[in-house]
Chain A
Amino acid sequence: MAIGGLTTNALLYLDNVSVTFDGFRALNALSLSIDAQEMRAIIGPNGAGKTTMMDVITGKTRPNQGVAVFEASHDLTKLDEASIAELGIGRKFQTPTVFEMHTVEDNILLALKTDRRPFPTLFSKRTKAEKERIDALLERVRLTGSRDRKAGELSHGQKQWLEIGMLLAQEPKLLLVDEPAAGMTDQETADTADLLREIAKTASVVVVEHDMVFVRDLGVKVTCLHEGSVLAEGSLDAVSTNERVVEVYLGR
């Protein structure tokens, strides 16, 4: 299949994507490709355009130019958020966003992969399988004890976990994870890395993080963005010795 004159086997393919806000170029002819079951770490200075890139992929922001192709056949720049989610792209936001008025359990329930149309939803009954899955997910994100609390009452870090749980519940093909380790202790960070590696066995994952320990932990290919385009790509060691990366990002 070809969209925009491209032929590709990549799960996600961004080509020449630019985004401009009032004259400011947040993304500048960005091209990137993620394979199926690949995990990719994205690093880059604050304001490099990492979150904006995720916005483009999930349909929140429309690029001024370029294409974003998913599974070689869907042009994401033409779809809305819900359709993109339905295609199997899930996202965790930089600042945790959960359904604050719902219980932790219901947050997971709502995220479970099911028929999303109104009428099937109206008539749906919770199955045993669903219940088990919810239990397992809650266990996984260590919120079993808080399952009946309102999500709004959770602490910052707990919300991060809950959001990861919701992401897992969607069983997406591609996970976009924006700074999952922010506000977590070192132990939790390591734990998150384990979780992501596990997920990556069955799905593709794009992780944005500033925590180099975490990124090293992941042990995957790293892309460094700068001023809206790719500055360096490769193993963490290779990227982190790149002069420019040190200069604009890591510091001395």
Chain B
Amino acid sequence: MLSVEDVSLYYGSSRALRGVSVTAAAGEVTCVLGRNGVGKSSLLRAITGQRPISGGRITLEGKEIDGLRPYDRAALGVAYVPQGREIFPLLTVKENLETGFAPLKRKDRSIPEDVFDLFPVLKSMLGRRGGDLSGGQQQQLAIGRALVTRPKLLVLDEPTEGIQPSIIKDIGRAIRYLRDKGTMAIVLVEQYFDFAQELADRFIVMERGEVVESGDAKALEGDDVRQRLHF
């Protein structure tokens, strides 16, 4: 589904990604692991088009997307749950969800019931302004909002950050549910190792803007990867 090949990315003159390659397949969760500041979010920014890349290739279902604008990528089925949630603060919860209608055909413009099944709190707060929600509520909204676009590729940046344990479990269930539908590829950046381990089908570990290890879920069981994440 998604293939990232040899991608580099700069902030001014500082290089955040150096020849990173990763792939994600439909019906699988690909986990990106790594310590703070190694470039995990930068990789997702490259995939979603929030930041231009300076080298390499990104393709989605064989189609090159690295030259496309974020909204064109969204139209092709890329949905993004950013780190820091980035809720539209003055829009109500309902309106936040409805922003996901933009890339959809008119007939598809409804909020899938899944969203409210996964995050019932959203249903009870439809009329409240997004910015007024608590941190965890916003995180749920951000995931819900991404799902409204019916993505083919769901990109999540630390979605458990600031979320209460029961809902982390719910999110885990949600991700598994989405994966099991088999149509969606999921890229998950996660620091919370146990959570990642539970969900990942495949993973990469990053260090200083490079992929230093990758493999499938089994490899996570050893202490190897855990070690890499320590100082």
Chains A and B touch (C-beta atoms under 8 A apart): yes
A-to-B contact residues, CB < 8 Å: 21, 24, 43-48, 50-51, 94-95, 153-158, 160-161, 179, 182-188, 191, 210-212, 248-252
Say whether A95 contacts B84, CB under 8 Å.
yes
Can you name 7 A-B residue pairings with CB atoms under 8 Å?
A46-B139, A46-B164, A51-B134, A155-B41, A160-B36, A182-B162, A212-B165
Most buried by B among A47, A154, A212: A47
Closest to A160 in B: B36
A46 CB contact (under 8 Å) in B83, B121, B169: B121
Closest to A93 in B: B135
A158 to B39, CA, bound (A): 12
A251 CB contact (under 8 Å) in B121, B167, B192: B167
Say whether A156 contacts B135, CB under 8 Å.
no
Kindly provide the distance from the CB of A102 to the nearest chain B CB, expressed in whole angstroms.
17
With A46-B140, A155-B41, A188-B35 as given contacts, are A210 and B163 in contact (CB-CB < 8 Å)?
yes
Interface string of B32-56 (1 = CB under 8 A from A): 0001111001000000000000000
**Inside 8 A of B161's CB, which chain A residues have their CB?**
179, 182-183
Q: CB within 8 Å of A: which of B149-163?
A: 158, 161-163
Say whether A249 contacts B134, CB under 8 Å.
no
**Inside 8 A of A182's CB, which chain B residues have their CB?**
158, 161-162
Q: CB within 8 Å of A: which of B135-179?
A: 135-137, 139-140, 158, 161-170
**Inside 8 A of A212's CB, which chain B residues have their CB?**
165
Say whether B167 contacts A46, CB under 8 Å.
yes
B166 CB contact (under 8 Å) in A94, A187, A249: A249
**Inside 8 A of B169's CB, which chain A residues have their CB?**
251
Closest to B16 in A: A155
With A183-B158, A187-B229, A210-B165 as given contacts, are A158 and B37 in contact (CB-CB < 8 Å)?
yes
With A21-B132, A46-B135, A47-B137 as given contacts, are A183 and B83 in contact (CB-CB < 8 Å)?
yes
A191 to B229, CA, bound (A): 13
A24 to B134, CA, bound (A): 13
Q: How large is the interface on B (under 10, 10 to 19, 20 to 34, 35 or more residues)?
A: 35 or more
Kindly provide the distance from the CB of B172 to the nearest chain A CB, expressed in whole angstroms.
10
Say whether A184 contacts B166, CB under 8 Å.
no
B-to-A contact residues, CB < 8 Å: 11, 14, 35-38, 41, 83-84, 121, 128, 132-137, 139-140, 158, 161-170, 191-193, 226, 229-231
**Inside 8 A of A157's CB, which chain B residues have their CB?**
35-37, 191
**Inside 8 A of A249's CB, which chain B residues have their CB?**
164-166
Say whether B84 contacts A94, CB under 8 Å.
no
Say whether A155 contacts B36, CB under 8 Å.
yes
Kindly provide the distance from the CB of B141 to the nearest chain A CB, expressed in whole angstroms.
11
Say whether B166 contacts A158, CB under 8 Å.
no
**Inside 8 A of A188's CB, which chain B residues have their CB?**
35-36, 231
**Inside 8 A of B191's CB, which chain A residues have their CB?**
157, 183-186
B135 CB contact (under 8 Å) in A51, A155, A160: A51
Say whether A161 contacts B36, CB under 8 Å.
yes
Q: Given contacts A46-B137, A248-B166, could you give 10 more A-B pairs where the C-beta distance is less than 8 Å? A: A46-B134, A47-B136, A50-B134, A156-B158, A157-B37, A179-B161, A186-B191, A187-B230, A210-B162, A210-B163
A186 CB contact (under 8 Å) in B83, B170, B193: B193
**Inside 8 A of B137's CB, which chain A residues have their CB?**
46-47
Most buried by A among B132, B139, B161, B169: B161
Closest to A96 in B: B84
With A47-B134, A154-B37, A156-B84 as given contacts, are A185 and B166 in contact (CB-CB < 8 Å)?
no
**Inside 8 A of A161's CB, which chain B residues have their CB?**
36
Kindly provide the distance from the CB of A121 to the nearest chain B CB, expressed in whole angstroms.
31
Closest to A146 in B: B37
A188 to B191, CA, bound (A): 10
Closest to B170 in A: A251
**Inside 8 A of A155's CB, which chain B residues have their CB?**
36-38, 41
With A185-B191, A210-B165 as given contacts, are A153 and B14 in contact (CB-CB < 8 Å)?
yes
Say whether A179 contacts B135, CB under 8 Å.
yes
Kindly provide the distance from the CB of A147 to the nearest chain B CB, expressed in whole angstroms.
15
Kindly provide the distance from the CB of A70 to the nearest chain B CB, expressed in whole angstroms.
25
Kindly provide the distance from the CB of B90 to the nearest chain A CB, expressed in whole angstroms.
14
**Inside 8 A of B11's CB, which chain A residues have their CB?**
153
Closest to B128 in A: A24
Closest to B42 in A: A155
A186 to B14, CA, bound (A): 27
Most buried by B among A153, A186, A210, A251: A210
